[in-house]
Amino acid sequence: MRPSSLRRSCAALAAVTSLALTVTACGGTTKNDVKDAASAATSAQKADPKAELKKGLTVGFLPKQVNNPYFTSADRGGAKALAELGETYKEVGPSSATDTSGQVSYVNTLTQQQVDAIAVSAQDPGALCTALKQAMRNGIKIVTYDSDTKPDCRDAFVSQAAAEDLGRTQVQLLAQQIGYQGEIAVLSAAQTATNQNTWIGFMKDELKDPKYKNIKLVKVAYGNDDAQQSFQQTQGLLQEYPDLKGIVSPTTVGIKAAAQYLSGSKYRGKVRLTGLGTPNDLRTYIKNGTIDAFELWDPAKLGDLAARTAVALSSGQITGRQGETFTAGGTEYTLGKDGVINLGRPTVFDAENIDQFDF
């Protein structure tokens, strides 16, 4: 057996058994060895920006949730980019956004299948770490996209936009819509979601500015990126807080369900709603006055950049360190602190521009 395949089958064995156990047949590897080897492997490599992109790589996409149209678009963008580069795309993933153990199993499966790289949107910041480190030790490059894990559990994170910008601008949008006055609530996705929790942290910080002194955040509710739960949570918010003036929902599933609820209720046009949604999901609600404006990036472009980042990592053009640069689809990207790559700025959609977008 070639050393690399031995390395891979040992890691695969560890993945099949329990990742926390000692794998004696492979030389007594312990959990700590795995962690150390993963970080040592990364720090020993040097980026070669001139390296040719490898062909024939297999990149496994593992979204938070497979039946979420946002991830369908994102992963389709990834598949298209990989086809263009001569690589193979595959997608696996849970159907619920609160199935962290399911995500762990999928990482282990991709490790056993010896893919070259994994692009994953993490449901939980820490839950995937052991499995991801095992994959990295096995030579698999890990890119998080959309929702990050801890920086030492992956090589790079492709972020949809600067998290701080996204959090602050959603509050700014809602504050303008309610005239800087009244009670507001957040309708989020899963309670553990790294991306939503980071944005909510910046929303709370933005609200500390004295210009929002007459706005009160009364509750953060969780709809778990499930349409029915998000609908019920919206209903519950309005029962609990009848004076509510606005809702921010930083999830495409949440904002759509909240819009559906508000649109069919006496609150339409009275309780303002903003957040992150797709133009195709929310066009009706912009046109019927339920929503004034909301934000998003193009999910397909996020998937495209995640795929190209995975290939750049697997080809040795980048290793995940701050300051490294690479070109993806004609644009040069520079890795920021902790290996974060920003896609760009989000678009704000309203009645004026919504018909120009189709995703």
| Interface with ligand RAM (CB under 6 A) | 64, 68, 70, 121, 146-147, 189, 195, 225, 251-253, 276
Query: Taking Cα atoms as reference points, which of 151, 81, 142 lies closest to residue 336?
Result: 151
* 70 or 212: CB nearest ligand RAM: 70
* 222 or 261: CB nearest ligand RAM: 222
* 144 or 147: CB nearest ligand RAM: 147
Q: 244 - beta bridge partners?
A: 183
CB of 296 to ligand RAM, least distance (A): 7
* 14 or 92: CB nearest ligand RAM: 92
* 111 or 160: CB nearest ligand RAM: 160
* 137 or 256: CB nearest ligand RAM: 256
CB of 69 to ligand RAM, least distance (A): 8
CB of 146 to ligand RAM, least distance (A): 5
Q: State the residue number with the nearest CB to ligand RAM.
A: 70
* 282 or 312: CB nearest ligand RAM: 282
List the structure tokens of 182. Answer: 């009244």
CB of 132 to ligand RAM, least distance (A): 18
Exposure string over 79-100, b if 16+ CB within 10 A, otherwise e: bebbeebebebbbbbbebbbbb
d(C-alpha 359, C-alpha 259), whole Å: 18
Contacts 24+ apart (CB under 8 A), 258-264: 258/187, 258/230, 258/231, 258/234, 259/285, 259/290, 259/291, 260/231, 260/285, 261/231, 261/234, 261/235, 262/234, 262/290, 263/288, 263/290
Contacts 24+ apart (CB under 8 A), 128-133: 128/100, 128/103, 128/104, 128/153, 129/153, 130/19, 130/20, 130/31, 130/34, 130/104, 131/15, 131/19, 131/104, 131/107, 132/107, 133/34, 133/35, 133/38
For residue 179, the SS3 value is: coil
* 121 or 314: CB nearest ligand RAM: 121
CB of 221 to ligand RAM, least distance (A): 14
In the chain, the N- to C-terminal Cα span, in Å, equals 47
CB of 201 to ligand RAM, least distance (A): 15
CB of 75 to ligand RAM, least distance (A): 12
Contacts of 323 (CB under 8 A, 6+ apart): 334, 335
Q: Which amino acid is at 335?
A: L
Q: Which amino acid is at 180?
A: Y
Contacts of 50 (CB under 8 A, 6+ apart): 317
CB of 169 to ligand RAM, least distance (A): 13
CB 82 within 8 A of CB 305: no
* 125 or 316: CB nearest ligand RAM: 125
CB of 242 to ligand RAM, least distance (A): 28
d(C-alpha 319, C-alpha 38), whole Å: 13
